[in-house]
């Protein structure tokens, strides 16, 4: 039994924030942002629009592509680090919005790696026979955690959702190998310090903006390339392949320089690397499913193609996978 991706969809909020808009908010420039990150604009959720809303929109498109309705789904998983609520899960809210009463629902939080962690888990569940059809979303409303006075972070992130349907198949399609990792003692390199059980919110923490995302970008950068390269070589090796066998690489979109450095070390030509960071910025767990959806819609994925995924993010976590494309 295999677990093929049979549907895909993505959604980004209508509101677009360009680099020129950010020049009005913090001391930055279009030139700095583009040359250091590759980002030109990002989409920002409307007031009141949260992660479940975006995940639902992407999910509906994925269901349509797969020729399914919400009633056909056994399980809904949302990979997110920006849930609508601490309780219940965002997936439970998506289940109600989609009207999928027979589906189980849970969230997966591995920060920017959440989608790859969830794809690994869900594919194993489908291959094990416990579930047949899963709606897997990667969705984030990072804008609600951004400090709009901190130019080190606010220019980098955006909001979006991507979704795939993972379905049981007797064809050798879907995830063939995966490797998941986490680097000890790196939590404070990328975190939201307060607002949960360790540091409940109080006035002092609010005044210090500890409810907002903080990042040591340069340190994260160092770990990012190394872990994406090592992870990629590991998952390719597991299936007896090399970077030369990769038809399309879909990396986490955090910084164009990280993507280029990773591709260079792997010797995968940039023409075979999917990049959309210019349009969305870093949308954390949504980057890979949005990229899958865009790549599929652009005709860049063909039946039997070898697709390499690599991601890293808060934790610090990292993840990689090799997938054979096709329904």
Task: Tell me which residues touch ligand UT7 (CB under 6 A).
Answer: 28, 32-33, 36-37, 112, 151-152, 155, 190, 215, 217-218, 220-221, 224, 254-255, 282, 313
By beta-carbon proximity to ligand UT7, the closer residue of 133 and 252 is: 252
By beta-carbon proximity to ligand UT7, the closer residue of 192 and 215 is: 215
Q: Phi, psi (5° rounding) for residue 307?
A: -110, 130
State the minimum distance, in angstroms, from the CB of residue 296 to ligand UT7.
Answer: 23
b/e string for 112-148 if b means 16 or more Cβ within 10 A?
bbbbbbbbbbbbebbbeeebbbbbbbbbbbbbbbbee
Which position among 10, 19, 112, 255 bears the catalytic label?
112
By beta-carbon proximity to ligand UT7, the closer residue of 102 and 148 is: 148
By beta-carbon proximity to ligand UT7, the closer residue of 176 and 253 is: 253
Q: Check if 202 is active-site.
A: no
Which position among 109, 113, 252, 255 bears the catalytic label?
252
Q: Check if 112 is active-site.
A: yes
Q: Which residue has tokens 């962690």?
A: 117
Q: Check if 278 is active-site.
A: no
Give which of 118, 42, 41, 82 is closest to 213, Cα–Cα: 82
State the minimum distance, in angstroms, from the CB of residue 70 to ligand UT7.
Answer: 30
Distance in angstroms (rounded) separating the CA atoms of residues 325 and 327: 7
Q: What is the 3-state secondary structure (H, E, C) of the chain?
A: CEEEEEEEEEECCCCEEEHHHHHCCCCCCHHHHHHHHCCCEEECCCCCCCHHHHHHHHHHHHHHHHCCCHHHCCEEEEECCCCCCCCCCHHHHHHHHHCCCCCEEEEECECECHHHHHHHHHHHHHHHCCCCEEEEEEEECHHHHCCCCCHHHHCCECCEEEEEEEEEECCCCEEEEEEEEECCCCHHHEEECCCCCCCCCCHHHHHCCCCCEEECHHHHHHHHHHHHHHHHHHHHHHCCCCHHHCCEEEECCCCHHHHHHHHHHHCCCHHHECCCHHHHCECHHHHHHHHHHHHHHCCCCCCCCEEEEEEEECCCEEEEEEEECCC
By beta-carbon proximity to ligand UT7, the closer residue of 28 and 211 is: 28
State the minimum distance, in angstroms, from the CB of residue 281 to ligand UT7.
Answer: 10
State the minimum distance, in angstroms, from the CB of residue 295 to ligand UT7.
Answer: 19
State the minimum distance, in angstroms, from the CB of residue 110 to ligand UT7.
Answer: 11
State the minimum distance, in angstroms, from the CB of residue 253 to ligand UT7.
Answer: 8
By beta-carbon proximity to ligand UT7, the closer residue of 257 and 297 is: 257
Which position among 109, 255, 276, 282 bears the catalytic label?
282
By beta-carbon proximity to ligand UT7, the closer residue of 87 and 218 is: 218
State the minimum distance, in angstroms, from the CB of residue 25 to ligand UT7.
Answer: 10
Catalytic residues: 112, 252, 282
């Amino acid at each position: 039994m295999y677990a093929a991706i049979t549907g895909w969809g993505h959604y980004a909020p209508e509101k677009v924030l360009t680099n020129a808009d950010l020049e009005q908010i913090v001391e930055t420039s279009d030139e700095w942002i583009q040359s250091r990150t590759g980002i030109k604009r990002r989409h920002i959720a409307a007031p009141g629009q949260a992660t479940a809303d975006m995940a639902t929109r992407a999910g509906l498109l994925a269901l349509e592509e797969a020729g399914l309705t919400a009633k056909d789904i056994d399980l809904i998983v949302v990979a997110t680090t920006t849930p609508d609520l601490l309780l219940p899960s965002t997936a439970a809210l998506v289940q109600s919005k989609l009207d999928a009463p027979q589906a189980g629902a849970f969230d997966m939080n591995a920060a920017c790696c959440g989608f790859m962690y969830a794809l690994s888990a869900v594919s194993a569940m489908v291959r094990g026979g416990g579930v047949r059809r899963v709606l897997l979303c990667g969705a984030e409303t990072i804008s609600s955690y951004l400090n709009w006075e901190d130019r080190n972070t606010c220019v980098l992130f955006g909001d979006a959702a991507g979704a795939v349907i993972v379905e049981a198949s007797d064809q050798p399609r879907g995830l063939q190998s995966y490797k998941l990792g986490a680097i000890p003692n790196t939590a404070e390199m990328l975190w939201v310090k307060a607002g949960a059980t360790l540091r409940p919110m109080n006035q002092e923490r609010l005044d210090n903006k500890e409810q907002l995302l903080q990042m040591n970008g340069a340190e994260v950068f160092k770990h990012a390339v190394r872990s994406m390269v090592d992870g990629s070589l590991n998952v390719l090796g597991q299936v007896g392949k090399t970077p030369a066998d990769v038809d399309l690489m879909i990396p986490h979109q955090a910084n164009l320089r990280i993507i280029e450095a990773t591709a260079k070390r792997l010797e995968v030509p940039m023409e075979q690397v999917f990049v959309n960071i210019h349009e969305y910025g870093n949308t954390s767990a949504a980057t890979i499913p949005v990229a899958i959806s865009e790549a599929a819609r652009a005709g860049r994925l063909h039946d039997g193609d070898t697709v390499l995924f690599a991601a890293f993010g808060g934790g610090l976590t990292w993840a990689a996978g090799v997938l054979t494309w096709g329904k």
